[in-house]
Every structure is written in C-alpha cells, then in structure tokens.
Amino acid sequence: MKSIMNLKSSYSTNPFSLAKSSITLPDNSALSLLSEAIQLHQNGQLSKAEQIYRQLLKLDPKNSEALNFLGLICYQKQDYLFAAELIRQAIHICPTVASYHSNLGIVLQELMQFERAVKSFDLAISLKPDFAEAYSNRGNALISLKDFEGALVSCDMAVKLKPDFAKAYSNRGNALLELKKPEAAVLSYDKAIAIHPGYAEAYSNRGNALRDLRQLEAAISSYGKSIELKPDFFEAYSNLANVLKELKRLVEAVKFYDKAICLKPEFAVGYVNRGNALFELKQFEEAVASYDKATALQPDYKYVLGMRHHAKMHACYWLDFEIEAAVVNQKIKKNEPCAPAFVTISLTTSLALQHQASKTWTKDKHPFDPSLGPIPKSARHSKIRIGYYSADFRNHPVSILSAGLFEHHDKSRFEVIGFSFGPDVKDEMHERLIKSFDQVIDVRSMSDAQVASLSRSLEVDIAVDLGGYTLDSRTGIFAYRAAPIQLSYIGYLGTMGADYYDYLIADRTIIPAESQCFYSEKIVYLPSYQVNDNKQEIPRTALSRQELNLPSRGFVYCCFNANYKITPSTFDGWMRILKAVPGSVLLLYTDIPSAAKNLKIEAQKRGVDPERLVFSEKLIRSKYLARCKAADLFLDTLPYNAGATASDALWAGLPVLTCMGESFASRYAASLLNAIGLPELVTQTQAEYEALAIELANNPAKLQGIKDKLERNRLTTPLFDTAGFTKNIEAAYTQMYERYQADLQLEHIYSNDSESNYTN
C-alpha cells in the first residue's frame, strides 16, 4: 500500500494593466513624450518605452508618471525590488494618486509582502472609492494571506463597481475555490469567460474547480481550452497533468509535466508532481532525479525530502540511507512538513515521530472542515448503518482480507453500505463484494464534500475508512464528517493524527495501554486485529524449486514484503543469517528490476554470493500461495512488518519469524502470530531474531513442530475465524453506537475478550 501526495499549481492571474493618471503636466512636450511612451508600453515595446521614460526623468527627475511607468516595466522584467523603489518615489512625489498605491501593491505581492500589499490597495481605495481594480487585486492578496472570506468580499465589491470586470470574477472564483465552494467558483469563472472569451487563466482556474468537483473530463477540456488560447501557459499544462495523473494516465501526465517544465525551467511544483507520477509508474530512479530538481530550486519544498527517501527505498538504493533518514526524523521532531505520514511508517518504529508526522500532514493537507455544519442527531435506527469507504474494492490486499467480513455481517442488525472511489475495475473480487453489501455507491465523480453530504443524507452511523493515508485514499471525506462516528481500519497502520477520527481498531499486542498517548484516536480493542477470509482455498501443493529457480537442496528463507520495507539493517541481518546457514537461499518478491539489481550489489558488499538471492515476480493468487509452501521460513521486516503477506504465508502453512518494535506497523506480525497461537516466533531484539532464524534452519525437528502446530491452529484460532472476527467487530460497533446514543464521551472500547492473548 503506497501513499502519494499531489500538489496543485498556483492560481493564474494577471493583475497588471496600464493606465495614465489624471495628473496635469505643464510641459506639453513632456506630455507628448509620456503619451508616446505609454503607447509603446501598451504595444509591448518595452525597451523603447523605457528609453523615453528615462529621457523624461533626465529632463524632470520628479516626473511621477515616468517613475511609476518605469517601475511597471521593471515589474514586467521581474526586477521587483527596483520596481517597488521607483513606484515609491512616484508616491513620495504625488502621494494622492490612487493608481500608484495600487501598482505598488501589485509589486509587493510578487515580493511576497502580502500584508503590505493589502495596505497599499487600501490606500488606493481610500483615495478612489470606486477603484474596482484595486478591490480585485486586494482580493488576490488576501487569498495569499488565506483570508478567503475577506478576499470574496473585496472581489464582490470589484464586480459591483465594474460588472464587466473579467479579472475580478476570476479572482472571485479563486476565493470561492479556497472556501471549498467549487460549484460557485465555476459560475464565477464562467462569468469571467463570458466577458472575456480569450481569458486563458480563467479557463485554467475553472479546470481546478472542476477537478475539485471530480468532473475530471470537463476539467481536461477546460485546461485544453486554456492551452489553445495560450500555448506557452505552463500552469495549465501542469494542472492538466495533475488530472491525468488522477485518472492514472500516468505516461501522458509525465509528458505534460515535461511541457510545463520546458516552458518554465524553475517550476519546482512541476518537478515534484512529475516525480510523483514517475513514482506511481515505478520509475523510482527517475522520480528521485525529479525530486532533486525540485529541491535544487526550492530546498525547503514540503514533503519532498521524505518522498525522495521513500522512492530510494522502493528501488533499494541505500546510498546515505542512515544520514537521510536521520535528517527526516530530525525535521519531523521540529514539526517541519518533510515527509508524508505514510512514509514515516517505514522509516522508524518511534510512535512519537509517527504521531507528529501524522498531525503535521493532517493539519496541512486535511484540516477539519466545518462547512457542512454539525451532524444533527438522528433517531435510533432499527439497524446500525455502517459505511465502508475505499479505493480498493477490487483484487487488492484490503479487499482480499475483508471480503469475508462484509459477507458475514448480520444484515438483520446492520445495514452495510460501500462507498467506492477507486479505479473502475470489474474483476472477480469486485463482483463478489458488490453482492456482500446492502448497496455499493460509486462516488468517483463526487467531491469530498458531496460524498460526506451523501453519507449524512443516508444517515450513516459509523463511517469506516479502509484506506487512511494510502494511495488513492480520500481523507477529505472524513474531514467534513461523513458520520457522527468515524474510524480507521486495516488500510493504514498508524494514527491518522486527526481529531475527526474517533476510533482506531487494534488489539492488545499492536497497541499496549502505555502506547495509547501516541494515538489521536480512542482505541477499539478486538481479540485479534486482522480480519481474514477463510473461504479462500488452502494450497495443497507447492510450486517446485525448479519453477522458482531455486537450488535443488538447501534451506529456503523468503520474504514477500514490498521492497521499500527492506532497510539496510534488516538486510544486514538477513545476510548474517545466510552466512551462518551454508547452502541457504533467500527468495524475494520484486517487480522492480532496479531493486533486484541493487539488492544483489548489497549482498556482494556484505560478502554473500548474489546468486543466493532469488527473485520471483507477481503471480496469480493460487500460485502465490503455492509459492509460500515452497519456502521453509518467512523472514519479516522491521520497522514495517508483513501484514497481508504474513497472514497469506500462515494460511499456506509457512511459519513467519518477526521482530517486534514500538510502532503499530512494527507489531503487526506479532499480532498475527499471537492470534494463531505461535508467540514463539515473536522476537524482541535483532539478535534474538537472527539466532532463531539460524536455529530453525539447523533444527528441522523444531521447525517441523512449529509447522505442525500451525496446521492444527489454522482453523481453530482467532486469526482465520472470519465469523468470530465479525461478531467481535459488530460488538465494538454496537458499543460505539450505544455510547453515541447515550451522549457519552469517547473512551477506549474493549470488545469481548480483547484483553486475552491466544498462546495455545
């Protein structure tokens, strides 16, 4: 499960306009020269206009008009400091000219001095109360200050004063978009376009609003019109690429990011989003190069440091791994936005760091949005209404694990609704899931606010987020409050760091009582954490060693976890294990050629023959489980344990050896082993982990005893008891619901015998 951030390009506005003030110049020749210069200026002949402005200033150093317009030429040449100085000189000479103050405000915006810009616009308006342009530009500055309500008021005044003011309508649309009112924003952009049909910036910004409304094809059309009108409009290319990326048209997206960057080589956000698209294409080395370009342009770019490190982990490219990880962790401690929440799970076992990273990410990307208002308390329902929200209602680990839960729900007591916003995949798993819900609603084309509103209208009692911060998740739905009770389960192995998530499901192994303080949610304790589907076929035969390119004899260790979970310290341990067990091999999964290449290089560095690493590709599920049976022992990773891969191995009869850390993800495999009655495979230190891995290879009788125990326990212990798990989670749902109905404060919930650990 992966997480990807996506960044919008900034709004496109063009506040600059030329207008001569009403000052009367006594010198007719000077007035004639000024008129000639303004005409040249308006025609884009900046060099000739500049020459005349300078000529005027030689004749009259206090010619405020020449100073003002020369300042605007400097603005157009992006020499903002000199532009501000020249316009200030004009103001010093003639402080009552409203246009000078407005022009200074425009320049100050480029210098990121937004509060001063607002003051300049205010002065302009005080001198000229009907100054529509100043109101519009003031609104633009207030957007930068995140005063969106104030911006809307200012833009409304601009269009009231000047009903045919296209730029003001566009700025008004920007304010509405920031206020998360995309429907109204589209109407405002449409008004701007009706007034000015060639307004490329309005078309691009309209595309942003349509994107927020999840009208992605319409957004593409709007961006296309913007580009048609303005072929060198880099922001429109970038915004178009963002939508193509959401539609998983990743190769096309990269092409348009490239176009945007070609038009503006210093475009840092373009490099970041290009890197994200390459990441999803599993072109990790290219993604790292794109992130490097972004940080070269903007060293403090948010989250790029963590994403870059995460991309390197996917490729198992570990140069400076420890140094980079330490830098990321240090920045997290300082509350700096340096790594997406998901990335930290694979970087550290520290609960404190993971909690801080999640809070930083949530506050920045998904703050609570009260715009839908509080949820009115509905009458008690005859059935508790459970909403499951996911991008993964298809052949995906989340659905493979939870399909049995949906089918086993007691439909006489619970109404179960699926909210689907993932790729449009109609595979066998999708068809199975459709039949297991009371209804499944495709909400791909709905905005987060619309989905939350729909959930409220359906009076969903409990909203269960199955994605968290993983790829294609929609945390924004929960930020609006989709239901009076909201919780996170199975997709994301950690705290969401958000007050609007009420509960997080776990067990006593994953979150001991002393760790509760590192979670923003109240913990719902079940007897065992992971749901499983015991309808799946148990593999009876293993794939042959020949089929897997394994040697004919020798102990077979394996790990089928995603490559980014393999850290240098984990790999160090594996290589020491191989050295201690002659003839042993390590069977790994990868679909990333560079990862296989790099791991072989790392083995060589550690004095292990690279040929003792054997790589296997993605297989259909039946063969994948049969591959598990071909191995002797599954070696887990730290800090990010095996999850679905661990339970798959146990289902196939393959013992899993884990080392337990502090965090949720580093205790996951221990939870599974306790739930199936194999606590002897849970170690506490790296030394214990390596010693037991070596012992089990050298003591076939002990290993066989564990395999026999696994075979006995598989269908008699909680891990694969789908019906039992369903009853336990339904009991927890009922407790949540009853507490809500009784107006009780949130507290940790203990479902049934959740305090017990199975150790038979």
pLDDT tens digits along 466-491: 999 999 999 999 999 999 999 999 99
Instruction: Sketch out the chain's domains with CATH numbers.
Output: 302-365 (no CATH), 377-525 (3.40.50.11380), 556-720 (3.40.50.2000)
CA angle 561, 564, 565 (to 5 degrees): 55
pLDDT at 271: 98
> What is the residue-wise DSSP string for 554-587?
S-EEEE-S-GGG--HHHHHHHHHHHHHSTT-EEE
pLDDT tens digits along 657-705: 999 999 999 999 999 999 999 999 999 999 999 999 999 999 999 999 9
- Is the Cβ–Cβ distance between 585 and 614 less than 8 Å? yes
Split at pLDDT 50, 70, 90, the class of 13 is: very low
Question: What is the rounded CA–CA span in Å between residue 343 and residue 567?
Answer: 13
Q: What is the mean pLDDT of the chain?
A: 94
pLDDT at 18 over 70: no
Residue tagged 């210069």 (tokens): 37
- Is the Cβ–Cβ distance between 600 and 520 less than 8 Å? no
pLDDT at 753: 56
Split at pLDDT 50, 70, 90, the class of 37 is: confident
pLDDT tens digits along 215-259: 999 999 999 999 999 999 999 999 999 999 999 999 999 999 999
Question: What is the rounded CA–CA span in Å between residue 95 and residue 138?
Answer: 19
pLDDT tens digits along 77-130: 999 999 999 999 999 999 999 999 999 999 999 999 999 999 999 999 999 999
pLDDT at 16: 46
Under 8 Å CB-to-CB from 342, ≥6 apart: which residues? Answer: 1, 2, 3, 468, 469, 470, 492
With residue 682 as reference, give the H or E element that holds it: strand 682-683
pLDDT at 751: 83
pLDDT tens digits along 135-144: 999 999 999 9
Question: What is the rounded CA–CA span in Å between residue 305 and residue 330?
Answer: 12
pLDDT at 588 over 50: yes
pLDDT at 400: 96
pLDDT at 759 over 80: no
pLDDT tens digits along 196-214: 999 999 999 999 999 999 9
Residue 553 CA from chain centroid, whole number: 45
pLDDT at 28: 65
pLDDT at 540: 87
pLDDT tens digits along 295-347: 999 999 999 999 999 999 999 999 999 999 999 999 999 999 999 999 999 99
pLDDT tens digits along 346-394: 999 999 999 999 999 999 999 999 999 999 998 999 999 999 999 999 9
Mean pLDDT of 583-604: 97
What tokens appear for 611 in the block? Answer: 């040929």
pLDDT at 17 over 60: no
Strands ordered across the beta sheet of 585-589: 613-616, 585-589, 556-559, 633-635, 656-659, 682-683
Residue 439: strand, helix, or coil: strand
pLDDT at 585 over 70: yes
